[in-house]
Every structure is written in C-alpha cells, then in structure tokens.
Structure 1
Amino acid sequence: MAPLRFCANVSWLFTELPDFGQRLHAAAAAGFRAVEAAWLYDSDPLELQRARRAAGVEVVLINTPPGDLDRGDLGLGAVPGREADFRRGLDLAVQYVLMTGRRSPLRIHLMAGRVPAGSDRTLVYRDMEAVFLQNLSYAADVLSKEGMTGLIEPINTRITEPRYFLDSPHQASEILEKLGKENIRLQMDVFHWQIMDGNLTENIRKYLPLIGHVQIAQVPGRNEPDSDGELDFRYLLGTLERLGYRGYVGCEYKPRGQGPPRTRRMSAVRRGNSSRWLVRTT
C-alpha cells in the first residue's frame, strides 16, 4: 500500500509572499515536494523554472486560463461561442508548462465555465455539454502529444459558484463516459463533493477509477483539514490510501489567520505503520 503524496496549492497557501517563486521555496520548507496552482500566467516561466529547480519541487497541476474574470468568465470549456478562446488558452497552458521545464507528468484542469448569465441551466445544458465534449476531445489530442492529462472538476453550485456548469461527480462521470478519452480524468475536490452530494465514501469507491487528482479542505469554512468541520480527514485519506489511490492530494484551503509561512506550516504525518493520515498545521 503506497503512501499518499501531497502537494501545496500555492494560489491559496503562502499568500503573504507576492511572488510565486518565493511560494515554491516556502512550500519546500514546509516539507512539500510538489505544488499546484490555479493560474501562473502572470509569472515569467523561466523565473519559475529557476525557482522550481532551486526549491526542488515539481509543478503537478495548473488550470487553463479562466477567460476574462472581470466580465464573469471562470473557464471556457463548456461555453458556447468561446471555442476558439478555449483552444488558445489550452495551447498557452501547454506551452507555459513546457517553458517551466516540467519533469513529472503534469495535469491541466480544463475549466468548464459558467452557465451564461440570465440563462436557464436546463435549457442550455445540452448545447453546453456538446461544446464541452468537443473541447475536451480537442484537448485530449493536444495533451496526449506531450504526455499530459486533462482533468474536469465539479464545483459546487450551492455556495461557491451558483452558475458553474459542472457541479457533481455524477455529471462528470457521464461526460467522461461519452467522451471516451483515457487521458481526460476526474478531479475530486472533497469540499465541493461534500457540499453537493455528501456520501463521500461510496462516491470515492465508485469513481476512484476515474480520479486523476484530489484536493482537500474542511467543510464548511474551506480551511485546514484539521480545523473544525464536517469531514474526518484521517478517515478519508486513509480510505484513499487503502483503495490504492496513486495520484497527488492537493492542499487547496484558506489558512486561518495571518502571519509568515512558518506559523502555518503544513505537513502530512503518517502514524507509525498504520494507514491513518493526519494533515496538520504547526
């Protein structure tokens, strides 16, 4: 039974440091050997490459560009009429990754995007799904040439993103089945899954063959996994380990309080030879 591997989301952690290169070093100092991020496109890729090598960490996940955030975009994968923008964003993500000098297999979250404002989700669903499948098929071919994997992530529509198109593992599974591409997989963020559906143990067991990446945060505050909340992460992480999950577990949460990174350092501690994990801050 292989131990779980953790990565720090440097878009959420170590945010006192304005430079992503500095955050890579902070993540390494906290014991991480891998990081993930939402969008790194404002950073110089060669500078990130130097920082990554100096820190001794790998970048294992990034998102495709969101589009125009000021105009309400949050990904373009399923948005009708924005197919060309999605493809340009995907190409940018791939080139950016290559310029940072990746060494490990990398995953790119192919963001689905929001239901257009003023539209009825049920009325536009079929068109948006068709666009998503078309864009995912294109992405699968592009990513396969570079040995990369695409991910689709359900985001909860009850609290976080009411208009997000992809909002449950069941919907994502149906889309992946229709798509039929081995290098497009499911990204499980337990925060979103708990809010939308609960039933985490059975959903993990059911969808584990599709899962290519996991992210964790406590519910409802989206804080550290060891903070007060609904989820028992010793149990959940132990379940992933016992079931043989081999991907990364991304630490994507909002740290409580402020202060330098050393006051909220995060580590994954295995309890002796047991399969129980505790993700903690020190």
Structure 2
Amino acid sequence: MPPPPLRFAANVGWLFTEGEADIWARCEAAKAAGFDAVEIPDPYGYWGRAGGPEETPRPPLPALPVALINSPRGDVAAGEMGLGALPGREADFLDSLQTAIAHAKALKCDRVHLLSGRLPPGVTREAQGPAMEATLVRNLLTASDLLAVEGMTGLIEPINSRLTDPRYFLDTPGQAARILEKVDKPNIKLQLDIFHCQVMDGNLTGNIRALFPLIGHIQVAQVPNRHEPSSQGEINYSYIFNLLQGLGYQGYVGCEYTPRESTVSGLGWLKEVRASH
C-alpha cells in the first residue's frame, strides 16, 4: 500500500495577507486555494482576551482545521520572542501556556509551538546558554503535564541565528534534539522548519531521517529568500516531499514563506505536488 499523500497547512500569518486583515477571511482563502489546514501563529488579537476565549463572544471556527498555533511572545515592544528559556520568568511562561491552551481548545487545535525566547542583549550563548537550557527543560516538563490533560502536543522549533534571528536561543536541530532527550515526554516534540535546518546544518536527508522520530510538525520555505518551495534556491523540495512521504510522515506540512508576488499566483507548486502524489 502506498504511503498517504502529504497534507499542507497555510500559515495565515504569512500567506493570503493581500488586503486581508481579517484572519478568518485568510482561512477561507486558504480553503479555496486547496490547502488542507491552516496555521494561525498569533490568534490572540482575534480570539478572546488573555484570560481565555470563553470570556468573549466567539467568532465562527476557521474554514479549515487549525494545525498549529504559537504560544504568546511576551512583551513584544521589548523585543521578546517567547518565554520558555528565560530564567526568572517561569510564572510568566506558565501564564502564557495557559493562555495558549485556552485558545488552542477554542480553535480545536492540538499542537502548540512553545516559543523559547531570545538571549538578553549583550549576553553570549556561552555565558547564558546553560541556564537557559535548564530553564527550558523545566518549563517543557511543566508544559507536558498541562498539555497532556487536553490531549495536546507541545513543539519546540530551532530558528536559525544566521539569517532570521541572531539572538533566538534555540537555533539548531542538534540543540533541540538534546533538549528533547532531557525532557523525554511523548507529547513534547520537534517542529522542524526545513528552511531553518538548511541554513544552520544542511545535510537535509540525514537530518530528516535522524530526527524523524522526534518530529511533531514540519514547515517549509526556500533558502535563502524564504519564498515558495518552488522558487529558485538551495532546496529541491520535490525530493524533500518524496522523502517525507516515503518516511510515512502523517502530520501537516506548514507553509511559512513570503510569496514572491500574490499568494495564489505562487501556488503552482502545490498543484504539482497534488498531481504527482
């Protein structure tokens, strides 16, 4: 029996943004374009207050299943990008986790990307890394228990420090694998963005095969310009998609990229994947 076809989720923080400020309209556009699901990276301004979506009138559910949301970033004005690895901010992390769980429940989403956070300004990885890693491990253990009650999975994502975010704490797949080994919980998994993996490590075939047992979600974009998978760049996504399908990947493939022109005009690659699988 051939492996099932891959399923693709449109990240509506990046796609279908052309004149569509309303997140629900973007979800409708993703459905019309042939996506199987959506990622809503930041649902908090659209779906309830920080105390939980049950406190406000609920808009309709999105037109497609929600494959993924992110945890709250923290103090955005201060440049925060998550709280998971920040020593001394454990209480804030717990509050943000509870907010994320409430929103995920309302959206019927079972995966939450737990943002690790950035190194403080002027602090090196060598100096602060051990304390931040220990904090992240402790917070992920706490998250595992709370997410398990709801049947949810928590994800950690290495974000490259070469092109995208020089101060993001979790920046390589190897670092993420080490942390997941320490946590050792079945509902805390790896969110592997192949764009970030290529920028930091390359060796995509070897890395995907080695990391596959840890993977709970995958995202894609071309390197180096973070455009459509079919755009000119370093990654042969036809090969990558065949590899994932051959490995029996069952989750969604999140599409988190910047369209070169309009979102819809750049979706020829999706039609080609559908036709070839």
Structure 1 unaligned regions, length at least 5:
276-282
What secondary structure does 2:150 align onto?
coil
Preserved contact between residue 194 and residue 200 of structure 1 (Cα < 8 Å): yes
The change in CA–CA distance for 1:250 and 1:268 in structure 2 (over 3 A counts) is farther
- 61, 83, 87: which is aligned to 1:80? 87
Question: Structure 1 runs of 4+ off > 4 angstroms?
Answer: 45-49
TM-score by length of 1: 0.90
Preserved contact between residue 224 and residue 253 of structure 1 (Cα < 8 Å): yes
1:257 deviation in Å? 2.2
The one-letter code matched in structure 1 to 2:204 is L
Give the Cα separation in 1 of the matches to 2:58 and 2:210. 37
CA RMSD of aligned residues (A): 1.7
The one-letter code matched in structure 1 to 2:72 is P
CA offsets 1:244-272 (integer angstroms, 9 cap, x no match)? 111110010001124xx544446344466
Q: How many residue pairs get matched?
A: 266
Structure 2 unaligned regions, length at least 5:
none
**How does 1:164-203 map onto structure 2 within 5 Å?**
164-203=168-207
Preserved contact between residue 47 and residue 103 of structure 2 (Cα < 8 Å): no
- 40, 46, 50: which is aligned to 2:60? 50
CA offsets 1:168-224 (integer angstroms, 9 cap, x no match)? 111100100011111000011011000000000000000000001000000000000
TM-score by length of 2: 0.92
CA offsets 1:60-80 (integer angstroms, 9 cap, x no match)? 100000011110100110011
Give the Cα separation in 2 of the matches to 1:48 and 1:251. 26
1:134 alignment counterpart: 138
**How does 1:11-160 map onto structure 2 within 5 Å?**
11-16=13-18, 17-44=20-47, 50-52=60-62, 55=63, 57-100=64-107, 102=108, 106-160=110-164
Percent identity between matched residues is 52
Give the Cα separation in 2 of the matches to 1:256 and 1:64. 28
What secondary structure does 1:41 align onto?
helix
The one-letter code matched in structure 1 to 2:176 is A
What secondary structure does 1:249 align onto?
strand
What secondary structure does 2:121 align onto?
coil
